[in-house]
């Protein structure tokens, strides 16, 4: 994991959130902790499936793969 990239992403998110609040624009992310935890859960689920190398190619199954 690239720590510099992670810190830049955190800084970008912080500045974006501050700017949205300053301008009175609704935040483009869940405003409550359960919503944020849900996003973390989605990420962890993705990583677990990736780690175990399981899954299907849904587009191919539907005949939509190019």
Same domain? For 45 and 24 the reply is: no
Q: How far is CA 31 from the centre of its chain?
A: 15
* One domain, residues 37 and 15: no
Same domain for 64 and 47, yes or no, is yes
Same structural domain for residues 38 and 22? no
Confidence of residue 45 (pLDDT cuts 50, 70, 90): very high
| Cβ partners under 8 Å of residue 39, min gap 6 | 29, 30
Question: What is the SS3 assignment for 65?
Answer: coil
Residue 47 has pLDDT above 90, yes or no: yes
Return the DSSP state at 66: -
Query: What's the pTM?
Result: 0.60
The domain tally of the chain equals 2
Instruction: Indicate the pLDDT class of residue 4, thresholds 50, 70 and 90.
Output: very high
On whether both 49 and 21 belong to a single domain, the answer is no
Question: Do 2 and 26 share a structural domain?
Answer: yes
In this structure, the answer to whether residues 50 and 40 fall within a common structural domain is yes
Which of 1, 7, 42 shows the shortest CA–CA distance to 15? Answer: 7
* pLDDT tier for residue 30 given thresholds of 50, 70 and 90: confident
| Domain range enclosing 50 | 32-66
Residue position matching structure tokens 């689920």: 45
């Amino acid at each position: 994991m690239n720590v510099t990239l992670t810190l830049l992403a955190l800084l970008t998110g912080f500045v974006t959130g501050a700017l949205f609040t300053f301008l009175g624009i609704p935040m483009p992310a869940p405003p409550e902790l359960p919503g944020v935890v849900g996003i973390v859960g989605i990420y962890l689920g993705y990583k677990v499936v990736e780690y175990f190398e399981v899954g299907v190619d849904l587009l191919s199954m539907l005949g939509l793969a190019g």
